Amino acid sequence: MNPKELKNRLDARKSGSDDFYLLDVRNPNEQEISTIEGTDLLIPVAELPTRIGELDSWKSSGKEIIVYCRSGARSANACGVLKSTGFSKVFNLEGGILLYSDEVDPSLAKY
């Protein structure tokens, strides 16, 4: 998923015409620097295998999960972990929060 697609989905979610989960897999110190408005949960990618149970209700809801990190690499890995544990509607944010900042919201701090 590219940043502009995510922005459109976030706008649609605000109006109630779309429903999905937005998962941040960066570290807490990174989230303190900047975060995409509308993020539902932070689970660092290194903790994902041991915290996957926190997402059980997400799996049973059938909603899509959009995953992001700083540049897209860790979130791509997280998507693989989620898919290997039975999540089927999982999408990676291309370019992560850096590209999102470039293309959608330049007010987000880059690091």
Which residues have a catalytic role annotated? 69
Q: What is the DSSP string of 12-69?
A: HHHTTS--EEEEE-S-HHHHHH---TT--EE--GGGHHHHGGGGHHHHHHT-EEEEE-
Distance, in Å, from the CA atom of 1 to the CA atom of 103, rounded to the nearest integer, reads: 13
**Is 111 in a helix, a strand, or coil?**
coil
Burial 13-27 (b: 16+ CB within 10 A, else e): eeeeeeebbbbbbbb
